[in-house]
Amino acid sequence: MRPWCKWPILDCGESLEQIPGTIKCLKPHPYYSLGAPYGEGFDPFRLRKEVVRLLLSAQEYLHKKNPEFRLAIFDAWRPINVQAFMVEYVINQECIARGLDRQAKSDSVEVMKMIKEVNRFWAPPSFDPSMPPPHSTGGAVDLTLSSLEGLPLKMGGEIDAIGEISHPNYYSSNNSLVFDPEHVTWNKRRCLLSEVMIANGFVQHPNEWWHFSYGDQLWAWKKNISKAIYGACNPIERSSVTL
């Protein structure tokens, strides 16, 4: 269990809002394109109202720091059934990449090690209201930096990559990497993204350079706030837009 899962939740009832067009959303949506079960008419590029406001503030902050960059949203609100679909998809893809047979007894030890590693990056698709996956709350967002034209910048690792390369400080904590000019650039970009988001109220996932939260259990844990203000979000009850 992640340390923040024990934090209590008192949901404030805030609505889900469409991410405005002034913030780049990377389309087609990566999970929707894989067949993830969002349901007809539901747009994953939505977040809680206050999170959208803070993202707009973060984009303004970024523009002042570097007017050649903008934020680009990879993923936002993620229902729990989509989380379950994606966890299974990632595990199966990792099995293929590592040459493992998930059903073979001879591979069982390696498969369990791999699943444990996947679980460091993908929250269990829990329907327990006391420990919702962060993205199901509408308070978590996966994003990167892009050019003004909306082309994602290289950050030294793909979003959702499984492994140490995804850690926010990977290029600054590894002495064998810190002097390579390309690695320096990637580290500066990761640091800039982190600075921009944290300065505007977000917290960063400890294992993922791209994941930031506001209002969920991870946020409350890192801020040492007594209660999270966002629980799992019902898209019908919480939506303020008609799609």
User: Nearest-CA neighbor of 132 among 204, 235, 218?
Assistant: 218
**Token pair recorded at residue 143:** 């994003």
Which 3 state secondary structure label does DSSP give 171? helix
Q: HSE on the CB side for 188, CA within 13 Å?
A: 11
Contact 139, 213 (CB under 8 A): yes
Please state, in angstroms and as integers, the Cα–Cα distance from residue 43 to each residue in 26, 34, 51, 186, following that order: 13, 15, 16, 31
> CA–CA separation, 204 vs 209, rounded Å?
7
Catalytic residue among 17, 164, 208, 237: 208
Which residues pair with residue 239 across a beta bridge?
Answer: 16
Rg of the chain on CA atoms, in Å: 18
Q: Quick one: three-class SS letters along 34-84?
A: CCCCCCCCCCCCEEEHHHHHHHHHHHHHHHHHCCCEEEEEEECCCCHHHHH
Catalytic annotation on 94? no
> CA–CA separation, 10 vs 196, rounded Å?
27
Q: In terms of DSSP H, where are the helices of 119-240?
A: 170-173, 181-198, 217-223, 235-238
Contact 45, 91 (CB under 8 A): no
Catalytically annotated residues: 208
